[in-house]
Structure 1
């Protein structure tokens, strides 16, 4: 089987970013990278805020946030009146959890592909309320149909108060058939929260077409927004029950303002977020998605070859446009969170490459991302330098 060819670079795209050229940044999925133009848009807003803080916060800021939210929600295919701006997807999850009113013996159901901080948030809320959390195992190679059936079998109508699933998983870069999962859960009367941290900017699926009770997604990853920009989308029948983590002056206004307004929070990231989407549209949304998916597929293959992983053993995310892929590490490496973090730091320090290292299902995995500022030679260099580093463990 031949190695896929890398895509042609998008002319000038690398120059849009201020990333250190001495480092290969192959982990866009963790914190993103903010284009220079978006950085400048946010800085102009900060300058405005610091020139007259009282005027900035008291004259029209709520309206500006509302206008920004409507722009972002429309771009994502979500109802602006059911969308709230939040700091990140994990914050949105926490808002939902504490608004549910969990009681003793209620159950929150998750999968073993879930994001670690979300799992911690679920655990804390269950501990506080007396509810329980249960995790269902989903094999990495499961088909969409098998995945849906695994979740169907795990639901406990009358006890399962919430199902939390990822749209695109962080640990395994697996695309979940969330619309089908929501349909099955609704048949059983179970609300669904979709953790779509990686969806905005990467996946074309309109939010409203999924039909979830709750959907959270970050724009500061693949949507080129400043960090701290995410949305929580809530179905109409839940909106009156959603409460903020901290009460502030817009509490009596209702959702979404009561969630968005957090007193002296720095709102400039939200207000600059449309500049990120403008950058993405200027490059060409479909062009960027195709480029990133093809580039990371190439990177996965050359690294897999270097580590002796057969092409058939390289996980396929299951759909076009996925800009993240994983490569299994040799047995015994990075099998715990601490070991994974230590290996990631060693790769960054010794070969000047930023990647994600995950411990999942008893094995270590290296996650690669593709972005317009990356080039094929960065993955090729990693494939040359990583095997000797792993041999020195």
Structure 2
């Protein structure tokens, strides 16, 4: 499978989670659309783009389990959450309930909104290590009160790689009349996803991470009840269109002026590649490698796993707690000396080595990391035991 990817063969690449990696057949499809765009830009943008987007959206909606008229493409989840944020109308003192495990860019979005609106962003503490789903749910709901109007939650935490019980939280939030906004950046392609079954009000995810699409391909699902209240982040020709399409919601969100939508249009090829290569089986094998090696890294670094080592909490990533006072130096040393691409994540004053495993990886890649950490422990003071 390594031969299918464009990754530098001299690097042990254990960081699929950050930006993904695109296989050659999908990248070639991406370039094919870019060439078609440049060959006749007017024909492409004015005549073909809408039809291409519809086909891509229909393929995507089947894959993620929603109606094709309820989802549109975005460059990334940050764009998607900004779109939602700009349309909210919370009052001073209203609360957005979240956790202290969210992605940094998302924390900044809600901090920005809070300063503008007077609403409060509540980063509810989730204790580590997590011992059970019940513990996680109990701690989360302690942040709820009568002022809670919105729940914002990652489905899989970027830093800790933990899977959160989104279904249970969405179900209870609906009973309480609370709007749910879910950041599923790491979910599509790593976990089975059926958005209509989860039943959130808003859900964003990427194609360019675990679905292997080119960079800058993501989506935002919006429940029909909220579509007319969602203003476009970029107002363009689709607003009060003189040639409306089948959905005002999609008109508002899809037409943003001249832009390269080629990454979105590779979606049919992306799904074809995943199905042709039995990617569910590959993902299962990758998950087995993740779970089977987590404890030995914690033992080496004299730390504890962040959760029970099971499919309930981990998929194709795991974060190893690491005691270091120089996370940047540790990451740089792993890359420059040992040729390992792996992030050192920071959350709430703690640091984690997060490894990702995908179809181009093997256990031997983790053996390379293990040997490098042994050497660092023996020869430097970058890691404290």
| TM-score, length of structure 1 as denominator length | 0.90
Name 1:269's counterpart in structure 2: 263
CA contact (8 A) 1:27 1:368 kept: yes
**Counterpart check, 1:100 vs 2:73:** no
The within-5 A match list for 1:212-361 is: 212-252=200-240, 253=244, 254-309=248-303, 316=309, 318-319=311-312, 322-330=315-323, 333=324, 339-361=326-348
- Once residues 113 and 291 of structure 1 are traced to their aligned partners in structure 2, the CA distance between those partners, rounded to angstroms, is 27
Name 1:389's counterpart in structure 2: 376
- Once residues 271 and 239 of structure 1 are traced to their aligned partners in structure 2, the CA distance between those partners, rounded to angstroms, is 23
CA contact (8 A) 1:300 1:368 kept: no
**Counterpart check, 1:125 vs 2:113:** yes
Residue of structure 2 aligned with 1:173, choices 153, 161, 166? 161
Name 1:43's counterpart in structure 2: 31
The alpha carbon displacement at 1:260 in A equals 2.3
Name 1:144's counterpart in structure 2: 133
Say what the alpha-carbon RMSD is for the aligned residues.
1.9
- Once residues 149 and 308 of structure 1 are traced to their aligned partners in structure 2, the CA distance between those partners, rounded to angstroms, is 29
The alpha carbon displacement at 1:87 in A equals 0.7
The alpha carbon displacement at 1:171 in A equals 0.9
Name 1:28's counterpart in structure 2: 16
- Once residues 231 and 329 of structure 2 are traced to their aligned partners in structure 1, the CA distance between those partners, rounded to angstroms, is 38
CA contact (8 A) 1:288 1:372 kept: yes
The alpha carbon displacement at 1:56 in A equals 1.1
CA contact (8 A) 1:224 1:277 kept: no
> How big is each residue's C-alpha offset from its partner over 1:215-266, in whole Å with a ceiling of 9 and x where there is no partner?
1101110001111111111111101111121101112352123222221111
- Once residues 320 and 364 of structure 1 are traced to their aligned partners in structure 2, the CA distance between those partners, rounded to angstroms, is 19
Name 1:3's counterpart in structure 2: none
- Once residues 137 and 18 of structure 1 are traced to their aligned partners in structure 2, the CA distance between those partners, rounded to angstroms, is 40
CA contact (8 A) 2:96 2:152 kept: yes
- Once residues 320 and 229 of structure 1 are traced to their aligned partners in structure 2, the CA distance between those partners, rounded to angstroms, is 26
SS at match of 1:255: helix
The alpha carbon displacement at 1:309 in A equals 4.1
The alpha carbon displacement at 1:326 in A equals 1.2
- Once residues 281 and 320 of structure 2 are traced to their aligned partners in structure 1, the CA distance between those partners, rounded to angstroms, is 25
CA contact (8 A) 2:291 2:314 kept: no
The alpha carbon displacement at 1:315 in A equals 5.5
Residue of structure 1 aligned with 2:145, choices 125, 140, 156? 156
- Once residues 116 and 321 of structure 1 are traced to their aligned partners in structure 2, the CA distance between those partners, rounded to angstroms, is 20
Residue of structure 2 aligned with 1:111, choices 75, 89, 99? 99
| TM-score, length of structure 2 as denominator length | 0.92
Name 1:8's counterpart in structure 2: none
The alpha carbon displacement at 1:294 in A equals 1.1
> How big is each residue's C-alpha offset from its partner over 1:157-176, in whole Å with a ceiling of 9 and x where there is no partner?
3x222110111111111111
Residue of structure 2 aligned with 1:365, choices 352, 358, 378? 352
- Once residues 166 and 142 of structure 1 are traced to their aligned partners in structure 2, the CA distance between those partners, rounded to angstroms, is 19
**Counterpart check, 1:19 vs 2:7:** yes
CA contact (8 A) 1:215 1:233 kept: yes
Give the total of aligned pairs. Answer: 373
CA contact (8 A) 1:84 1:255 kept: no
SS at match of 1:222: coil
> How big is each residue's C-alpha offset from its partner over 1:326-364, in whole Å with a ceiling of 9 and x where there is no partner?
11112xx15xxxx53443233212211011211223321
